[in-house]
Amino acid sequence: MELKILWMYHDVMDLYGDKGNIAVLKKRCERRGIAVQIDTCGMGEMADMCAYDLIFMGGGADKEQSLLYQDLIKRKEQVQAALDSGSFILLICGGYQLFGKYYVDAFGNQIEGLGLFPYYTNAAADNKRCIGNVLIEANLDGERVEVIGFENHGGQSEGVTQPFGKVIIGHGNVFHGTYEGFYNGQVLGTYLHGPLLPKNAKLADHILKKALKKRYGEVTLAPLDDTWENKAFAAMKKRLIHAK
Ligand X SMILES: NC(=O)CC[C@H](N)C(=O)O
Chain positions contacting ligand X, by CB under 6 A: 15, 59-62, 65, 93-94, 152-155
Minimal distance, residue 131 CB to ligand X, in Å: 10
Minimal distance, residue 12 CB to ligand X, in Å: 11
Our answer to whether residue 29 is catalytic in this structure is no
Rg of the chain over CA atoms, in angstroms? 17
Minimal distance, residue 190 CB to ligand X, in Å: 11
Our answer to whether residue 93 is catalytic in this structure is yes
Residue 128 CB neighbour total at 10 angstroms: 12
Residue 174 and residue 210: Cα distance in Å, rounded?
28
**242 CB-near residues (< 8 Å, 6+ apart):** none
Minimal distance, residue 212 CB to ligand X, in Å: 27
129 is in an annotated binding site: yes
Minimum CB distance to ligand X smaller for 155 or for 198? 155
Cα distances (angstroms) measured from residue 27 to each of 3, 7, 197, 208, 214: 12, 16, 11, 11, 20
Minimum CB distance to ligand X smaller for 50 or for 67? 67
The one catalytic residue among 93, 153, 171, 206: 93
Of the candidates 57, 71, 53, 84, the one whose C-alpha atom is nearest the C-alpha of residue 211 is 53
Minimum CB distance to ligand X smaller for 60 or for 163? 60
Of the candidates 78, 1, 63, the one whose C-alpha atom is nearest the C-alpha of residue 32 is 1
Residue nearest ligand X, Cβ-based: 59
Minimum CB distance to ligand X smaller for 155 or for 181? 155
Q: Known catalytic residues?
A: 93, 193
- Binding site as annotated, residues for substrate: 129
